[in-house]
Amino acid sequence: MGTLHLIAGPQGAGKSTYALELAARERGVRLSLDDWMAGLYGPDLPVPSDLAWVLERVRRCEQQILELALAIGASGGSAVLDLSFARQAQRRLVRELAAAQGLRAQLHFIDAPPALRRERVQRRNLEKGPTWAFEVTPAMFEAIEGRFEPPTPQELADAVVRRT
């Protein structure tokens, strides 16, 4: 049975680092929204930033990534979805789609205190290491921060939880 690993958490919590480690451990395919967004739309990002423009492209990428993940799962593979999963409805939808195809869906919730997450994002902007895809400005951080919906106790009941 194939598995979809949903990596959820607020920005700067360590999701991408965790996803890289999990994909290596599971011999799975890591599908990163940030990588897709940077590769497909990075050169076209409007200045100043336009949240509506970005969110429409995020939606397009997420749809394509999900279709690919379901195909990986259907072939018996493991897909590590590094998509943030900021909204409860999005997490529920992916779990329902996986179940409908007979796939396992495992939620991984990664969290850290807000001050540490801000510091990590600022450091990632400077270092441009393996999990950097594009700069997250303080304004972007705040806008994205307000969109995150923490997992419910029901969601966390069978989740892998890592707090750093």
Regions of the chain short of the pLDDT cut 70: 131-135, 137-139, 141
Contacts by 151-155, CB closer than 8 A, 24 or more apart:
151/8, 151/88, 151/91, 151/107, 151/109, 152/88, 155/88, 155/91, 155/107, 155/109
Question: What CATH number is given to the structural domain containing 85?
Answer: 3.40.50.300
Range of the domain at 77: 3-163
pTM exceeding 0.85: yes
| pLDDT value of position 120 | 79
The domain total for the chain is 1
